A and B are shown apart, each in its own frame.
Chain A
């Protein structure tokens, strides 16, 4: 039901053609689209009802993310509605409630600034938050901050005296320098430098030196939704490819009548089905017992990464020369899959989590 409604909207308002037009115009964010999504309750999908949200849970958020992946829609859904909302929900104060209400209303966007190296590794954060009087001074840099070019606020992971601390600060605060990256998939991302940025105790989300109690749930929610998006992306690439196999003729027959391609397509479908199970499971566990979701979420992200990469590679190959042209959409899927593969932990990162939790 939710999936059908979402698909209907996205096919109309944010299909792949829209991403193409935005890329051609050098545009990475569409505020009008986000407002429409907010009006449908998507921005507040994880925001409690008392803060004006729809509070539909992670399984529903994953359904929406999956449909966005299928159509390669561009929005701050993951950064804002999933990751930031989940982080803010871990904190039960009035400020967080206000922030959640702004998210649900579509008036505030967020970006998560955790990584500093080429691979996802929050624990390795070196950005320093030095104690100055009653407050902090942030110095260092973050990379690969998805939606960081336009977000109103940043969730910044910083090293404090005895651990890591998560700050929630406006993106235009003095000392913050954002440089937009021109990403292969046409979405927004930034490198962000922090030159002695002042922060107060009020800017800390959760406890000083205790970032993980807020960040881990937020990351898991984001990883699961990203996995759902990538599974949707895989399904989208697969669907386009199967249609092409039925239409494209060579040697006087549809190329989909050739067993070499039939078996590859059928195998890809099997991989998509197995991954879909892991996505559904992750949503269920996040809703029912979020504290135990580590295995389910990493399983989903690992599988989705693998399946999306297979789907786009098969997609380009089975489209032949057409798959290599910019005029066909498959390239957009391939580039989004590569970015998604790296964001919030790659295959090896999440397979490693699975292995650790399974006694390797």
Chain B
């Protein structure tokens, strides 16, 4: 905790910086898919302002405000981070950069990576130069993720990777992938997994998009056919994060961040606006059953929003909420599904035309309680690790 004067000064500094550096076009509060800057080697900026905003934020460490300065962040603590986001919100600033590098790989590297790995990978993530994707699930390894079979064989100076990943979001647009692979086929399933970093341009890597019930999607299948992965990308930069065969620890840690990310984005998808206001636009709040259901959902959504804040406040800046992330993920995604159902019910037949746009969101929300661990897996985690119920 810093004293009030220091934080007030910090707020004034941030406000002045934003005032000078945030382009007007980036102050429209847009959060939709079309407005996101994902970065990466092949990124096409949608406007000059988007590029300017990213470059200025990156130079100040504000794309990853809580990361240490030497790795491209601004080194903010939790109080400062809150102020930063409040001031961003005050001028409706867009987020300068979003990526799986920021949300998932970065925290894992900060926790498990060597100093050289951090220096090598984190600054390009912070600057939006390298775009990452996640290779976790396989066709035969969903909820039972640790049964994954993608083969990673030791060939002396390199690893040879063969296998298939599924649900690799944006694999077709990513520059690199962080993937779970099996490096020991004899060991118990959790003890033969490694967390390796692979260049998507490596020979033998290919991707194929997946069409969802909601239409086109960022999800892909990713195939590895005799992909040669160097054992080292430089001094102190092994291909894997953490030790070989100890990738499951990294995987689990990263999953807690992924779950927080999903619970947070489930809130963003609609939690900020009153459900009553949304339904009132459609004029269907007169239906007493819909109205009662919406009132219940509103109560729950508001209380859940407070819960997200409370858990973030409890955790250190940039650190995860640990096992409790399973609660945030479970509740956030289930509430978002309820919300989407109510929005569809409120809109009636107006929302049934694809062009209306609400149906894809409603359908997509069904994946929330599956991706990153199903609701049922979350409940099992909680019952074992938080409640201490017997296996």
Contact = CB atoms under 8 A, between A and B. Distances in A.
A273 B386 CA distance: 12
B379 A267 contact: yes
A251 to B, nearest CB: 13
B383 A274 contact: no
A273 B276 contact: no
Given A246-B388, A277-B306, A270 B330 contact: yes
A360 B299 CA distance: 12
B331 A358 contact: no
B276 A277 contact: no
Given A269-B382, A360-B276, A354 B310 contact: no
Contact of B303 (A242, A257, A277): A277
Interface stretch (B28-36, B46-54, B290-298): B290-298
A351 B387 contact: no
A303 to B, nearest CB: 5
B1 interface: no
A354 B299 contact: yes
Contacts of B188: none
Contact of B389 (A242, A281, A359, A360): A242
Most chain A CB within a 10 A radius of its CB, from B285, B291, B327: B327
Interface in B372-391: 376, 378-380, 382-384, 386-391
B307 interface: yes
Contact of A360 (B298, B302, B380, B384): B298
A360 B295 CA distance: 8
Interface in A309-360: 351-352, 354-355, 358-360
Given A270-B327, A273-B327, A299 B276 contact: no
Most chain A CB within a 10 A radius of its CB, from B276, B285, B303, B384: B303
Interface in B212-261: none
Nearest to B276: A360
Interface residues of B, number: 38
A259 interface: yes
A95 interface: no
Contacts of B310: 276-277, 280
B265 interface: no
A225 interface: no
A316 B383 CA distance: 19
Contact of B382 (A270, A299, A302): A270
Contacts of A295: 302
A2 interface: no
A262 interface: yes
B327 A360 contact: no
B203 interface: no
A51 B380 CA distance: 52
A351 B389 contact: no
Interface string B276-289: 11011000010000
A358 B277 contact: yes
A275 B276 contact: no
A158 to B, nearest CB: 32
A303 B389 contact: no
B338 interface: no
B285 A360 contact: yes
A34 B306 CA distance: 34
A194 to B, nearest CB: 36
Nearest to B324: A273
Nearest to B310: A277
A68 B332 CA distance: 30
A280 B310 CA distance: 9
A360 B281 CA distance: 10
A131 interface: no
Most chain A CB within a 10 A radius of its CB, from B274, B294, B295, B382: B295
A263 interface: yes
A303 B382 contact: no
A273 B306 CA distance: 10
Interface string B57-82: 00000000000000000000000000
A266 interface: yes
Nearest to B383: A262
B383 A265 contact: yes
Contacts of A245: 389
A256 interface: yes
B304 interface: yes
Given A256-B390, A303-B303, A360-B280, A263 B298 contact: no
Interface in A269-304: 269-270, 273-278, 280-281, 295, 299, 302-303
Nearest to A295: B302
Most chain A CB within a 10 A radius of its CB, from B280, B300, B384: B300
B382 A351 contact: no
B385 to A, nearest CB: 10
A354 B277 CA distance: 13
Nearest to B304: A274
A351 B379 contact: no
Given A254-B390, A359-B274, A359-B277, A299 B302 contact: yes
A274 B309 CA distance: 11
Contacts of A267: 330, 379
A275 B300 CA distance: 9
Contact of B386 (A246, A266, A352): A266
Given A257-B391, A270-B382, 10 more contacts: A242-B387, A266-B386, A270-B327, A274-B307, A277-B303, A277-B306, A280-B310, A306-B299, A355-B276, A360-B280
Interface of A: 242, 245-246, 253-254, 256-257, 259, 262-263, 265-267, 269-270, 273-278, 280-281, 295, 299, 302-303, 306, 351-352, 354-355, 358-360
Interface of B: 274-277, 279-280, 285, 291, 294-296, 298-300, 302-304, 306-307, 309-310, 324, 327, 330-331, 376, 378-380, 382-384, 386-391
Q: Which 3 A-B residue pairs are closest in the complex by CB-CB distance?
A: A360-B276, A262-B383, A266-B382
7 contacts: A262-B383, A277-B310, A281-B306, A299-B303, A303-B303, A360-B274, A360-B294
